[in-house]
Amino acid sequence: MKQYSRFITLIGGILAFFSFALPWKHTYSGAVLANDSGWPVALAFIASSIVVGIGYYVLNRKSRDNPRLITLGLIMSGLGLLFCVATLIRFFESGINFITISFVASVIIVGTTIYMLNRQTLWESIPTTVVLISSGVGLICFLILFFSGSLAIGLGNRIDNTRYGAFLSAIGYVLAIVGLLCFPQTEDILETNGEQGSEENSEGDE
């Protein structure tokens, strides 16, 4: 199953993406609701989170002994966190469109998984972390929207009459996570390469 795990993740991302063409609430599709009120706040929050992630990456992977990169990483992380807080404050004032966040998460899953298929990315990698976070965020957004009525969360776009499109997106995110959990580890790749090398050597001796 591990050799097909990337395809499982890709199928999950594609299911989540195309679920937005189906009804999510009454007769409204997920794409229509994603373009409803609150989407600018959602996109601003996503952009701020990406800036924080890039700043963290620069600090941990690229800075080393370079003071310029350290400064750049600190500035990006600080500005990203500042804008994240600002968007959260805006959320409590006017609301945030969680369906927009879920849609962006599905796009990130599909795009990153295609990249991982081309590069044969292992579990211990940044793209895997990106897909895992996106899948978790998409699933959390669905749960927030689904339980918003019973939890008395004031959301203008809550899906109180949930249709099959929303459930299909949740299934897609779960599939993406399952595929990630089955990704081949570094040790598995080394063992496979070692076995292949032994077979080639034995054939050469013959």
Identify the pLDDT of residue 18: 93
Identify the pLDDT of residue 65: 67
Amino acid found at 157: N
Q: Please, which residues bridge with residue 29 across strands?
A: 23
The CA distance from 77 to 92, in Å, is 23
Whether residues 57 and 22 fall in one domain: no
Task: Tell me whether residue 82 is in a domain.
Answer: yes
Burial of 205 per CB tally in 10 Å (0-12, 13-18, 19+): exposed
At 86-136, the pLDDT tens digits run 777 776 666 677 888 888 889 888 998 888 888 777 666 778 888 888 888
pLDDT at 150 over 50: no
The CA distance from 202 to 206, in Å, is 6
Q: In 10 A of CB 126, how many CB atoms?
A: 12
Whether residues 42 and 139 fall in one domain: no
- DSSP H/E element including 23: strand 23-25
Specify the pairing of strand 28-29 against strand 23-25.
antiparallel
Q: Which of 67, 96, 125 is the last residue of a domain?
A: 96
At 1-42, the pLDDT tens digits run 556 677 888 899 999 999 998 888 778 888 888 887 667 777
Confidence of residue 199 (pLDDT cuts 50, 70, 90): very low
Residues found in the chain: 206
> CA dihedral in degrees (113, 114, 115, 118; nearest 10)?
120
Whether residues 157 and 61 fall in one domain: no
Report the candidate in 123, 139, 137 with the shortest Cα–Cα distance to residue 180: 123
Cβ–Cβ < 8 Å for 157, 36 = yes
At 159-185, the pLDDT tens digits run 555 677 888 999 999 999 888 888 766
Q: Which of 96, 111, 139 is the last residue of a domain?
A: 96
Average pLDDT over residues 75-84: 82
What's this model's pTM, rounded to 2 decimal places?
A: 0.71
Alpha-carbon radius of gyration of the chain: 21
Identify the pLDDT of residue 1: 53
The CA distance from 58 to 60, in Å, is 6
At 184-196, the pLDDT tens digits run 665 454 454 444 4
Whether residues 180 and 107 fall in one domain: yes
Average pLDDT over residues 74-89: 80
Task: Tell me whether residue 22 is in a domain.
Answer: yes
- DSSP H/E element including 16: helix 5-18
Identify the pLDDT of residue 174: 93
Whether residues 184 and 125 fall in one domain: yes
The CA distance from 164 to 19, in Å, is 8
Domain extent, residue 43, equals 38-96
Identify the pLDDT of residue 40: 76
Report the candidate in 176, 109, 173 with the shortest Cα–Cα distance to residue 146: 173
